[in-house]
Amino acid sequence: MNLADLETPRLVLDADRMEANVARLKGRLASLGVRLRPHVKTCKSIEVARGLVESPAGPITVSTLKEAEQFLEHGVTDILYAVGIAPGKLDHVTDLRRRGADLAVVVDSVEAAKAVAERDAGIPALIEIDCDGHRAGVKPGHPVLLDIAKALARGAKPRGVMTHAGDSYNCRSPEAIADMAEQERGAVVRSAALLRSAGYACPVVSVGSTPTATFARSLEGVTEVRAGVFVFHDLVMAGLGVCRVDDIAVSVLATVIGHQREKGWIVTDGGWMALSRDRGTARQAVDQGYGLVCDEAGRVIGDLVVSDANQEHGIVSRRSGGELDLARYPVGTRLRILPNHACATAAQHDAYHVVRSGTEVVDRWPRFGGW
Amino acid sequence: MNLADLETPRLVLDADRMEANVARLKGRLASLGVRLRPHVKTCKSIEVARGLVESPAGPITVSTLKEAEQFLEHGVTDILYAVGIAPGKLDHVTDLRRRGADLAVVVDSVEAAKAVAERDAGIPALIEIDCDGHRAGVKPGHPVLLDIAKALARGAKPRGVMTHAGDSYNCRSPEAIADMAEQERGAVVRSAALLRSAGYACPVVSVGSTPTATFARSLEGVTEVRAGVFVFHDLVMAGLGVCRVDDIAVSVLATVIGHQREKGWIVTDGGWMALSRDRGTARQAVDQGYGLVCDEAGRVIGDLVVSDANQEHGIVSRRSGGELDLARYPVGTRLRILPNHACATAAQHDAYHVVRSGTEVVDRWPRFGGW
């Protein structure tokens, strides 16, 4: 089968690019002497995950219990659920553990730690550290860490610390990202030292984001790296210098359905429902609109971007606003759109159409959503 | 069952509010003497659609052939696919028509009209009119309309004209929306007159958007109105004055998972994956962030909004930036988030949890996605 045989819009996965992306990060982490615990929130696909994990049992990171559920059904047992646990989810966690998952949870307060410990089920828990003021977590090395560990130890199992340098997405250079990686590393290493000095074992010291994993100078003291988007990469990563545009492995296949000649617009059937509403490059030096336009074989076409989007209509024009030879894109022309954010765009689809050597479709891999 | 029994995040549909919204628009269109062809791209649910249609056969409007497929399986046959047809979809259209769908397509160029006519299958087609420079379509009354009708007549069936006043979403007052509705009406009525004067039958004169349907002063000459978001309403509609905040029938149930005390942040498990990346209120007078926060019973809590979002984390703070008594929202507290854009938020979920009288869950209605 060929891409030309697919109805549009569809999600396309370039397996050659994906494999190169995975090999690159794995090689880098191996040279830094640290383990990869891939974040499967990006792919939500067992076929993709199989190319990422050390062994059929994992390890993996998940962002929802639905992901834990789905991957456990495929034999993955070493799972970190990396979003602060809501007490109402502990029955589900206990059930997954009973079914064979070594599922660990995350807490960042005495309140949440108590809820986990009250189960008296030895649920392993990491304490989340806030390394960059971006999201959840305890300040690095803050004394409340000891209160949380103490609360956990009453009926759960403190397993270590974790953090996510979400602010690395706002960095402006590889040097700034490397500095952020050092800040991320320092935050958890310092927190682990505090816990150990108080007598708590701290076997896991976990960091993770694709930018910091790519540019970290050292990961000394860190035991594992969680990263997800590196598998596919996207325009936000390219804008950060984390990958090249030609490394981006996912795209949305769309068809030209019309034109607005006076405006220099091509109208396609790839709207925001297919691309997502993510405008992650809006804050970057090069704003790629709702995505960068390629031909059907995946080659970028000058500065064509999806400049605006309706639910099922994409408007393609030149980023520079310059003139466009619409005759080159008649109704029926097929285009591929590189996404701002791979996690968001992939989530709009229920399958990957896997291509090799440009446009040959070699497989269809299902992906799931929901919670 | 009660909302308290659901794991989070989940999509909640308040059936009482939905029924009132539907009755209100139906009453209005009846008084204007025009038919409703509801747009089911918002709900993508047969259970919701049953409350909207005149009869089990329809009529309905769809934005994807997947919607046509799904609704046809439930006996809906009168279907308008309201996105310009891509030639590669005509096999699918023909197949749906063979299976009993009176499925009409849309074109806005001679090119696309020829592709439809070449099938020589009498496929009914509407010509799209561009009433507001917002998206696709031919300029109202432009002579190319006759060329398109002529191309269609060779093997397809010209059925009339349609337009969508997408720019009504950018209006600032009910008066501006009423003016836009008149512009929308005039665009198709004028185009229909041109076609009729050239001897083409033009039985369908179709307009549609929830704002213009709500404020139109007259729909003379129009035969049907397509609207979708009115079923649920959302914060964008409330910001336009099209509904009240208390009319919004869909929300996302989320749980408090932590706090950042110095920042006055509540952290929840309702991130952008559950809410969508839609920031439709960003351009309005009141920017509601990623959504407006209610208690579990659906009552708005002051000026609490989801001010930022990660994939599975929502950050709740006051829109005013003022102080927030975090002790009132301990870990485990359940909140409901009203969405910016009902179509985008509902699309992130695979089911509606239907409530009556606040928090009593009376049903679970599946919804579908994809193409």
CATH code of the domain containing A283? 2.40.37.20
Residues B257, B289, single domain; the answer is yes
Residue A342: closest CA among chain B residues belongs to which residue?
Answer: B311
Distance between CA B139 and CA A308 in Å, rounded?
20
Residue B237 lies in a domain: no
Residues A207, A142, single domain; the answer is yes
**Closest-CA residue to A7 (of A253, A251, A290):** A253
CA distance A199 to chain B (A): 26
pLDDT at A357 over 90: no
Average of pLDDT values for A41-61? 97
Check if A127 contacts B (Cβ < 8 Å): no
Query: For A257, which of B65, B85, B274 is closest by C-beta distance?
Result: B85
Count of domains for chain A? 2
Query: For A276, which of B84, B258, B277 is closest by C-beta distance?
Result: B277
Structure tokens at A36: 């990869």
Give A-chain residues touching B259 at CB under 8 angstroms.
109
Residues B67, B124, single domain; the answer is yes
Residue A113 lies in a domain: yes
Average of pLDDT values for A137-161? 98
Per-residue pLDDT tens digits of chain B, which is 371 residues long: 999 999 999 999 999 999 999 999 999 999 999 999 999 999 999 999 999 999 999 999 999 999 999 999 999 999 999 999 999 999 999 999 999 999 999 999 999 999 999 999 999 999 999 999 999 999 999 999 999 999 999 999 999 999 999 999 999 999 999 999 999 999 999 999 999 999 999 999 999 999 999 999 999 999 999 999 999 999 999 999 999 999 999 999 999 999 999 999 999 999 999 999 999 999 999 999 999 999 999 999 999 999 999 999 999 999 999 899 999 999 999 999 999 999 999 999 999 999 998 899 999 999 999 99
Question: Could you give the residue ranges of the DSSP H alpha helices within chain A?
Answer: 15-31, 46-50, 65-73, 90-98, 110-118, 144-153, 174-197, 210-215, 235-240, 272-275, 342-346
pLDDT at A358 over 90: no
Task: Enter the DSSP assignment of B39.
Answer: B
- A contact test, residue of B83, B236, B259 with most A CBs within 10 A: B83
Residues B227, B266, single domain; the answer is no
Query: For B312, which of A63, A279, A369 is closest by C-beta distance?
Result: A63
**Mean pLDDT, chain A, whole residue set:** 97
Contact A315 B135 (CB under 8 A): yes
Residue A275: closest CA among chain B residues belongs to which residue?
Answer: B277
Average of pLDDT values for A108-134? 97
Strands A78-81 and A102-107, by their bridges, are parallel
Residue B285 lies in a domain: yes
Q: pLDDT digit string (tens) for A13-38?
A: 999 999 999 999 999 999 999 999 99
What's residue B192's pLDDT?
98
- Residue A100's CB is within 10 A of a number of other CB atoms, namely 11
Residues of chain B numbered 34-53 and touching chain A (CB < 8 Å): 41
The torsion region of residue A357 among left (phi > 0), alpha (psi -120 to 50) and beta comes to: left
- B contact test, residue of A168, A269, A333 with most B CBs within 10 A: A269
Residue B368: closest CA among chain A residues belongs to which residue?
Answer: A350
Query: For A331, which of B87, B259, B312 is closest by C-beta distance?
Result: B87
Distance between CA B348 and CA A11 in Å, rounded?
16
What's residue B34's pLDDT?
98
Residues B138, B30, single domain; the answer is yes
**Closest-CA residue to A164 (of A127, A135, A204):** A135
Last-in-domain residue among A177, A197, A232: A232
Contact A356, A364 (CB under 8 A): no
Distance between CA A222 and CA B276 in Å, rounded?
33
Query: For A83, which of B115, B269, B334 is closest by C-beta distance?
Result: B269
Residues A184, A319, single domain; the answer is no
Residues A260, A136, single domain; the answer is no
Q: Which string of DSSP letters, residue by residue, matches B265-313?
A: EEEES--HHHH-S--GGGGSSS--BT-EEEETTS-EEEEEEEEEE-SS-
Task: Enter the DSSP assignment of B87.
Answer: G
Residues A291, A260, single domain; the answer is yes
Residues A281, A302, single domain; the answer is yes
Contact B211, B171 (CB under 8 A): yes
Residue B316 lies in a domain: yes
**Closest-CA residue to B35 (of B300, B277, B224, B315):** B224
Residue B104: beta bridge partners? B80
Contact A348 B369 (CB under 8 A): yes
pLDDT at A210 over 90: yes
Last-in-domain residue among B209, B231, B253: B231
Residues of chain A numbered 224-263 and touching chain B (CB < 8 Å): 255-260, 263
Distance between CA B216 and CA B209 in Å, rounded?
10
What's residue B358's pLDDT?
84
Residues B187, B125, single domain; the answer is yes
Residue A160 lies in a domain: yes
Task: Enter the DSSP assignment of A139.
Answer: P
Residue A71 lies in a domain: yes
Residue B283 lies in a domain: yes
pLDDT at A70 over 90: yes
Last-in-domain residue among B200, B231, B262: B231
Average of pLDDT values for A59-64? 98
Query: In terms of residue numbers, what domain contains A293?
Result: 3-10+243-366
pLDDT at A126 over 90: yes
Contact B255 A111 (CB under 8 A): no
Residue A238 lies in a domain: no
Query: For A277, which of B133, B277, B310 is closest by C-beta distance?
Result: B277
Distance between CA B64 and CA B251 in Å, rounded?
24
Q: Complex ipTM above 0.90?
A: yes
What's residue B39's pLDDT?
98
Residues B210, B72, single domain; the answer is yes
Residues B221, B247, single domain; the answer is no
Contacts (Cβ under 8 Å, ≥6 apart) of B91: none
CATH code of the domain covering residue B210: 3.20.20.10
